[in-house]
Homo-oligomer: A and B are copies of this chain.
Amino acid sequence: MYINLLGYVCLFKRKCKNLLHKCRILLNYSVKKITALSKNMTKSKIPKPAIERLCTLYRFLDMCEEEGTTCISSAQIEKQLHIGSHNVRKDISYLNLSCSGSGGYNIKKLKSQIAAQLGFTQPQNICIVGLGRLGTAILAHERIAESEYNLAAGFDSNINKLETIRTRVPVFPSYEIESVVRQMNITLAIIAVPADAAQSVADKLIGAGIRGIVNFAPVVIKTGKSGVFINNVDILGKLNLLTALLKANSSEIYQ
């Protein structure tokens, strides 16, 4: 009993300390909030899951357009992408546009609207670090050339590789990452180096002012800098996810 009581006293002290801390944070927060509100914060923000779906949709529309389709309805999208038609319509409604016409959405119009809202209109310069098997596979990717991304540079630490590689993309030794990234105004990077080199490469890239990284090496890249987005594409993680979903799904069926 006695010991417990002392424990509470200790807890109480800590709470007081926490409370003070909270007050400070709250004060700070209110100031920020008020500033934000006063700046007429009217723009409704799009939920993150909706953004992800819209990206998928955008890629899909691109595909459809190439096949010559001009119109598509939310019901058709549901069938192809396995995204509920309600959901598709809701996502599109976040864009505040009107594509209503017979036979569904006008693909060209919808695509350009998504691009406008999500920021795909300005072509961005991207680079690849690591020109091994994976790196060259990406260099040869069928659709990058015609996309809104301009593959501006490739980097590798192996000088021999730089000399023998055959590609239209200019390649550089990796100690030039910093200067080339700055000079060419490259904003996004793809990492395809072995796991143990990935973090140091990422640090260099972030130091050079890169805003986003797609990382294929099987490590979790850390970034101290806020405002830098990292997307780790680990194939084992994908396999794990499939396994887990299969398990969850099957147990849904069996009980």
Measuring CB to CB, which residues of chain A are less than 8 angstroms from any residue of chain B?
Answer: 36, 39-41, 43, 45-46, 48, 51-52, 54-56, 58-60, 63, 79-81, 118-120, 124, 126, 132-134, 136-138, 140-144, 147, 149, 187-188, 190, 194-195, 211-214, 218-220, 222, 227, 229, 231-253, 255
B52 touches A241 (CB 8 A): yes
Q: Which B residues are in CB contact (< 8 Å) with A60?
A: 220
A-B contact pairs, 30 of them (CB 8 A): A43-B251, A46-B248, A48-B245, A52-B241, A58-B237, A59-B236, A59-B240, A60-B220, A80-B222, A119-B243, A119-B244, A119-B246, A120-B240, A133-B136, A134-B134, A134-B137, A138-B235, A141-B218, A142-B194, A149-B236, A149-B239, A211-B246, A212-B242, A214-B235, A214-B239, A227-B250, A229-B246, A229-B249, A231-B242, A233-B235
B137 touches A245 (CB 8 A): no
Q: Give complex CA distance A136, B135 in Å.
A: 12
Closest B residue to A247 by beta carbon equals B119
Q: Which B residues are in CB contact (< 8 Å) with A247?
A: 118-119
A236, A237, A243: residue with the most chain B Cβ atoms closer than 10 Å: A243
Given A118-B244, A233-B238, 11 extra CB contacts under 8 A: A59-B237, A81-B220, A118-B247, A119-B246, A119-B247, A120-B243, A137-B137, A212-B243, A212-B246, A233-B233, A233-B235
Q: Give complex CA distance A220, B61 in Å.
A: 11
Known contacts being A194-B142, A234-B59, A236-B143, is A243 close to B81, with CB within 8 Å? Answer: no
